[in-house]
Amino acid sequence: MFRKGIAIFSVTRQGVETAAKIRDVLSRDKIKCEIFAPEKYAQKGVIPLDKKLGESVREVFSDVDAIVAVMATGIIVRTVAPLLESKMSDPAVVCVDTSGRFAISLVSGHYGGANELTKLIADGLGAVPVITTASDVLGKQSVDELARALHCTILNPESLVAVNSALVNEEELVLVLAGNVKIRMDKIRNYEDRTVENGEQAIEIVNSFDAGVIITNEETLWEELMKPATILKPKKIAVGIGSRKNVSEDDVFETVNCALKQVNIQLDRVDRLATVDIKKDSLSMKNAAKRLGLNLEFISIDDLRSFRHEDLSPDSELVKQKIGVGGVCERAALITAGKKAKLILKKTKAKGVTVAIAEGE
């Protein structure tokens, strides 16, 4: 989450001081962020604004995961209003008052992560989180929040208003797992749940409720749905690994499991495991993969070397000298995750093992 980073804007001297505290809070969670403020208030580590606020926000709007505005809500609301397109693509927008007393989720609360970011900032500052989305007020898990937590793509976002409305109005709502999907029901709350063999059966069940959610990998024609329903497709989860020569099977196994816990992903949700092909004879890697219950895929050094992606960390010169490519785990994860892949965990290292996790459609 927030892999592209966060832009923090302030327009007052006191606001800059609060912005610096927010940056410290986010940095503890290793979230990349930059502060922007008028030149006369810019201190060390703050980027001076050489344009009007609206122009500066517009320039970064599509390049960041979130905008934190340390200012009055009216200012940032008027600033971002012309830029908003869809809750599925707009960055999260959070407003914090200049004294740091309140953190307010304004835009993209669920799918964009504004509600989560609001809570994170409020906890760090000792502020009051202000979240007004109906499902959160009622303690319910909205469909877009569910999709993000389960790493699913929403295939028909136009359904969200009707299905979330059914949820908050306490209508009869069902969640159906259709076909061979690897989703644990213990992550799901506020929904009656069913498991069926195919999409046709899922449609039949949803039509007997007021609304529903269907999680499936099937390409089914959904025209027979008579009730509002959101269709979720699980994203591919790929783990990339690299290691030094003499690591043990336990080292690999434990480091992968630790990495999965960092992003709250169950092992049985992982689709693919990959590394560089020079590890084909590594018993530690092979045995650890068996214990994990995953097939270990091997990617050539040439393919790793030629791969380009905006999420990649800077190359390691030491690794490059040893094997001819500046990094293995992030490239391996992104390549095997496939279409529209992005890192959800950048390179993490322990016991001589490096692990990265990617999701893709």
Report whether pLDDT(137) > 80.
no
Q: Could you read off the pLDDT of 22-50 as tens digits, one per residue?
A: 999 999 888 889 999 998 887 778 899 88
- pLDDT the model gives residue 245: 86
User: What's the CA gap between 298 and 296, in Å, rounded?
Assistant: 7
Question: What are residue 230's phi and psi, to 5 degrees?
Answer: -100, 130
| Mean pLDDT (whole number) for 262-282 | 92
Residue 357 CB coordination number (10 Å): 26
- Percent with pLDDT over 90 in the chain: 63
Band (pLDDT 50/70/90 cuts) for residue 135 is low
Q: Encoding tokens for residue 255?
A: 């480091």
Tell me the whole-structure pTM to 2 decimals.
0.74
- CATH homologous superfamily, domain 236-360: CobE/GbiG C-terminal domain (3.30.420.180)
Region class of 171: left (phi > 0), else alpha (psi between -120 and 50), else beta: beta
Task: Give me the pLDDT at residue 45, please.
Answer: 84
Q: Is the Cβ–Cβ distance between 191 and 135 less than 8 Å?
A: no
Q: What integer pLDDT is reported at residue 110 of this predicted model?
A: 73
- Collapsing DSSP to helix, strand or coil, 85 comes out as coil
Give the model's pLDDT for residue 324.
87
pLDDT digits (tens, 9 = 90+) for 111-125: 788 888 999 999 999
Taking residues 199-206, what's their average pLDDT?
A: 92
Domains in the chain: boundaries: 6-132, 143-234, 236-360
Give yes or no for residue 138 having a pLDDT over 60.
no
Say what the pLDDT of residue 267 is.
92
Distance (Å, rounded) from C-alpha 340 to C-alpha 272? 16
What is the longest distance spanned by two Cα atoms in the chain? Answer: 64
Looking at 3.40.190.10, 3.10.20.30, 1.10.1490.10, 3.40.1390.40, the CATH number of the domain 143-234 comes to 3.40.1390.40
CATH topology of domain 6-132: Rossmann fold (3.40.50)
Each residue of 224-236: pLDDT tens digit? 899 999 999 999 9
The DSSP annotation for 130-181 comes to: E---HHHHTT---HHHHHHHTTEEES-GGGHHHHHHHHHTT--EEEEEESS-
Residue 317 pLDDT class (50, 70, 90 cuts):
confident
- pLDDT bin (cut points 50, 70, 90) of residue 15 is very high
What token pair was written down for 219? 């390409």
Please report which confidence band the pLDDT of residue 87 belongs to, taking 50, 70 and 90 as the band edges. confident
pLDDT of residue 331: 96
